[in-house]
Amino acid sequence: MATQTKGNTLRLYLRDDELELLQKLTEVLEIPQTEIMSRIMTAGIRAIRDAGNRMPLPLRFGILEALPEESKPSNKARR
């Protein structure tokens, strides 16, 4: 697992139905709600940046099983 670092705290409001879905995810994934929300926010922010900072509403996310080849880090970067 990646090294944990403490980030900034932001206020987030969820409706009852969203909170219920988050609680179910927490049970299934066996990781804290804050970790789930942090990963979702990170993925969303990066996706918007990669789309040229465009944010058409409503947002729709999809889950990819693997990164496209061009998104994978190269071995050259590690040297």
DSSP annotation of 72 reads: S
Q: What tens digit of pLDDT does each residue of 27-62 get?
A: 999 999 999 999 999 999 999 999 999 998 998 888
Buried/exposed 21-37: b ≥16 CB within 10 Å, e otherwise: eeeeebeeeeeeeeeeb
- Contact criterion met (CB below 8 Å) for 55 and 48: yes
Q: Is the pLDDT of residue 12 over 80?
A: yes
Angle at alpha carbon of residue 49, lines to 44 and 55, rounded to 5°: 70
Query: Which pTM value belongs to this model?
Result: 0.68
pLDDT band at 14 (very low <50, low <70, confident <90, very high): very high
CB atoms under 10 Å from CB of 79, counted, come to 5
54-to-32, 58, 70 alpha-carbon distances in Å: 30, 12, 21
